[in-house]
Amino acid sequence: MKVTMMKAASVLAMLAAGFSLSAPAAAQTYPSKPIKLIAPFAPGGVADTMARLVGDKLSKSLGTPVIVENRPGAGGNIGADVVAKADPDGYTLLMSSAGILSINGSLYPKLSFDPAKSFAPVSQVVDMPMVVVVNASVPANTLQEFIAYAKKNEDKTFFGSAGNGTTPHLGAELFQRAAHIKLTHVPYKGSGEAVQSLLSGTTIGALENPPVLLSHLKSGKLRALAVTGPHRLTQLPDVPTTTEAGIPELQVSSWFGIVAPAKTPPQIVERLSAETAKALREPDVEQKMVALGVRAIGSKPAEFDAFIKSERTKWDQIVKQANIRME
């Protein structure tokens, strides 16, 4: 009996050793087949653009195809679920949005994955601060002038967004609290509709991403009041940051980053992170980033993880204060 038990223990020990060695061995030969990079939004959007731009560079540096697959729906949750349930071997990655990793966990009562536990952060790819904009007919040329206008005209301060629970919506909620004003939220189905409403005068303002605003700002139909990030935008050098405009609490960014399934071997995560950072430093990539109004980051896994946690804490408070829920 003792011999049998000893043999069983020996077999279990050998199996455990084999499993513990399999991850490093896989990491040493990684990658040995195509990598799937999930873009959890429709083609043509920022997540899709970033995925294809970075994916192309990773294909060359890793020596294997990086195939971008669009899996849109439910605020990015459908694509995120695919990656959360994938094998943690580095062959299925997610080009995640800020919403998926730092907001959706507070918004959706029932998710099929845990934003805080289902992923291994690889690298933040870009930071895209938003712009506080108003219709050109609004009698305000600065952020402080708009705040004064809003306090006197609460019945007119209709602020549009890309939809309930989106970053533009939560940014407007943060704006209200930071500036002590009241804005009436008008949700639309995407940024395109929100901007068209702003152009028509149905709404008077919004917080939106630079790519959907730049042409309208140049035409004079919209007016930029402030950039909700730590730096001014290259395309809008005369537009101050919210800190310069006197509202430093208003920091809002639609950032994107790459994550892998939880328990992906650290060696693979580190390799992907290093290659992503290298890709973002290439001149042609930097030029395209500037044209889009985004700032390349290329952070290390630990840095990205800490950033996600800080963002999650901030937006969880806003979601609770505004009592926002998605079904």
pLDDT digits (tens, 9 = 90+) for 97-108: 999 999 999 999
Q: How many CB atoms lie within 10 A of CB 216?
A: 20
What range does the domain containing 208 cover?
131-227
Please tell me whether residues 113 and 149 are part of one structural domain.
no
- Looking at residue 22, what is its pLDDT? 55
Pair (289, 215) in one structural domain: no
Report the alpha-carbon distance of residue 312 to residue 250 in Å, rounded.
15
Which of 208, 227, 246 terminates a domain? The answer is 227
Say if 54 falls within a structural domain. yes
Q: What is the pLDDT at residue 2?
A: 47
The CA distance from 14 to 82, in Å, is 33
> Which residue is it, tokens 């002038």?
145
Q: What is the CATH number of the domain that holds 145?
A: 3.40.190.10
Which residue, of 175, 209, 227, is where some domain finishes? Answer: 227
pLDDT value for 6 = 52
205 occurs within a structural domain: yes
Q: Is residue 219 part of a domain?
A: yes
Q: Decide if 315 contacts 102 (C-beta within 8 A).
A: yes
Is residue 234 domain-resident? no
Counted domains in the chain: 2
| pLDDT recorded at residue 211 | 85
Give the pLDDT of residue 14: 52
The answer to the question of residue 9 being in a domain is: no
The reply to whether 259 and 124 lie within a common domain is yes
Same domain, 68 and 148: no
Distance in angstroms (rounded) separating the CA atoms of residues 293 and 243: 19
Residues 122 and 145 in one domain: no
Q: Please indicate, yes or no, whether residues 36 and 108 belong to a single structural domain of this protein.
A: yes
- Give a yes or no: residue 21 inside a domain: no
**Same domain membership, residue 137 and residue 123:** no
CA-nearest of 266, 278, 279 to 305 is 266
User: Tell me, what's the pLDDT at 3?
Assistant: 47
Query: Domain boundary residue among 227, 243, 276?
Result: 227
Answer yes or no: do 44 and 73 share one domain.
yes
Low-confidence ranges of the chain (pLDDT < 70): 1-26, 327
Tokens 């700032």, residue located: 295
Kindly state whether residue 290 falls inside one of the protein's structural domains.
yes
